[in-house]
A and B are shown apart, each in its own frame.
Chain A
Amino acid sequence: MNDELLELYQELILDHNARPHNFGAMQGSTHHAHGLNPLCGDDIEVFLQLDGNRIKDAKFSGHGCAISKASASLMTDAVKEASTEEAQAMFDVFHRLVTGENVSDLERENLGKVAAFSGVKEFPARVKCASLAWHTLKAALNQAHEQVSTE
């Protein structure tokens, strides 16, 4: 098996694809957004429950490839109990990670399990899959009622 493929489809990512965490619509969410990747048809919704600027709960629903589903699953785990600023900062680091830009060791450590997506940088066509959930999260935080799109 190709090394880059093994790096992309790590055990952790495959597990979250097969058994996603925080999957399903949330009743009584305070923030919500819908994200679409029009080129491939990936379609997810992100639901948040905020208390002040702290994310108390995060869930997602929809459908997509293994990368987008696992990314949404790991993201919703990662942002729970984070402040909205921390979540935004995490997205910034995540984006640099998957596009192959510079990420410091400390930043990588702070990402925790989400850092498993570093293999995506070798697959430019899959960057959108990995970041769809994060774009949708950002839209939800900005209370954008419009649908976001990776295009």
Chain B
Amino acid sequence: MIDIAAHFPILSKPVHGKKLHYLDSGATSLKAQSVIDAVNAYNAEYSANVHRGTYYFSEIATKRFEDVREKVRTLINARSSHEIIFTKGTTDSINLVAHALGSQILDSNSEILLTTMEHHSNIVPWQLVCERTGAKIVVAEIDDNGALDILKIKNLINPRTKIVGVAHISNALGTVNDIKAITELAHAVGAKVVVDGAQAIAHVRVDVQDLNCDFYAFSAHKMYGPTGAGVLFGKRELLDAMPPYQGGGDMIASVTFEKTTYAKVPYKFEAGTPNIAGVIGLGAAVDFVREIGFKWIESHEDDLIAYAMKKLSEVKGLKLIGTAAHKKAAVSFVMEGVHPHDIATVVDRHGVAIRAGHLCAQPVMKRFGVTALSRASFGVYNTREDVDALCAALKSVSEVFGA
């Protein structure tokens, strides 16, 4: 048994006088001590800007910053570190693709295929690009378990389909999508596949060459790293051909008032001083998850999910929402006669932190005929004891509401 919790200082802080049972890693994971140390070290010891200084600290900062690109490349098995663009996070990454690729390849005859289970951040950027280009969004519906039917996707993909946007793992349902199969169908008509990997990156081994997706977006803060830093992976040839997203310093080759030429990828897409401390924290987070290893992470978390599904389904009046096979990362539920917000407030006083609300996935709420869900989501530090604490706290919800 590895004592993972010992790496997370926040877990030793009591909440309302109780031991903290953190079950909201889907919103943001806790930060590992090594991540905190790496961020602090940058701020305290070498907080110079990157890519410009010719002095000692700037060279160190630039080296450590660029080392993270290589770490991330290894993490997701990209072909080249030029395919790794640092962003503010998943939302920023998806906006970048939607803007740069969207304005390049979409017109009023185009379709963008999304799924019901997408997070708002993989819906709204596409709606914005549709407003500019006249393209249309087509939605692949999910079944009662919260799973996609690959045959439905096949029927929806057609020569007008230019982009397919899909979550690797659903934040609200925990459904794992078959990205490889979807990519095959999309590529058959020449469509590009943009994967929202926010909920997957900390939970499964991601291999972008194996998935063969064109873009893959994720955030540092959902994999034990800091907020405000994230990644967009894109295939080199696509990134090379795409116009810049934002203009500014760092992304240029030369500037005159007559004509500006742009830097090569990835710098073309990294205008302005980046979140250097955040990226360095991301590097420490990559080291952290690779040290634990995805073999351990997947078997540990699969056990937790199975245990949580079983234990929660035994709670009186509770209904699980999202019951796809082989699901990961999150378990959502509703309780008869009690609003998810009230559930979250009551269990919080027992030291149990869960998410309640529409989970930034209102189409999922509509699909299941609810206005909100309660969600327990997991990280490497969670154990069966956290699930037991949640179930015990839910008993007290029933007591309060007489359910």
> Which residues of A are interface residues toward B (Cβ below 8 A)?
1-2, 4-5, 8-9, 14, 18, 39-43, 63-67, 69, 123, 125-126, 129
Contacts and interface: CB of A to CB of B under 8 A. Distances in A.
Given A40-B356, A41-B371, A43-B371, A5 B339 contact: no
* Centre residue among A2, A4, A129 by max chain B CB count within 10 A: A2
B358 interface: yes
Nearest to B18: A2
Interface in B25-39: none
A67 B372 contact: no
Contact of A5 (B341, B349, B371, B372): B349
Interface of B: 16, 337-342, 345-346, 349-350, 356-358, 362, 365, 371-372, 396, 399-402
Contacts of B362: 41
A65 B374 CA distance: 12
A65 B341 contact: yes
Contact of A40 (B337, B358, B399, B400): B358
A9 B349 CA distance: 13
A28 B346 CA distance: 39
Contact of B357 (A8, A39, A43): A39
A41 B372 contact: yes
15 contacts: A1-B396, A2-B350, A5-B400, A14-B402, A18-B337, A40-B358, A41-B365, A41-B371, A42-B371, A63-B371, A65-B340, A66-B401, A69-B339, A125-B345, A126-B345
Given A8-B345, A67-B342, A41 B357 contact: yes
A4 B358 CA distance: 26
A7 to B, nearest CB: 11
Contact of B400 (A4, A14, A65, A69): A14
Given A40-B372, A66-B338, 15 more contacts: A2-B16, A2-B349, A8-B345, A9-B342, A14-B402, A40-B341, A40-B358, A41-B362, A41-B372, A65-B342, A66-B342, A66-B401, A69-B339, A126-B341, A126-B345
Contacts of A1: 396, 399-400
A42 B16 CA distance: 27
B357 to A, nearest CB: 4
Contacts of B16: 2
Nearest to A8: B345
Contacts of A42: 341, 371
Contacts of A66: 338-339, 341-342, 401
A67 B362 CA distance: 22
Nearest to B396: A1
Contacts of A18: 337
Contacts of B337: 18
A65 B337 CA distance: 10
Given A40-B372, A41-B362, A64 B339 contact: yes
A106 to B, nearest CB: 30
Nearest to B337: A18
Contacts of A67: 341-342
Contacts of B372: 40-41
A129 B337 CA distance: 17
* Centre residue among B337, B341, B346, B365 by max chain A CB count within 10 A: B341
B342 A41 contact: no
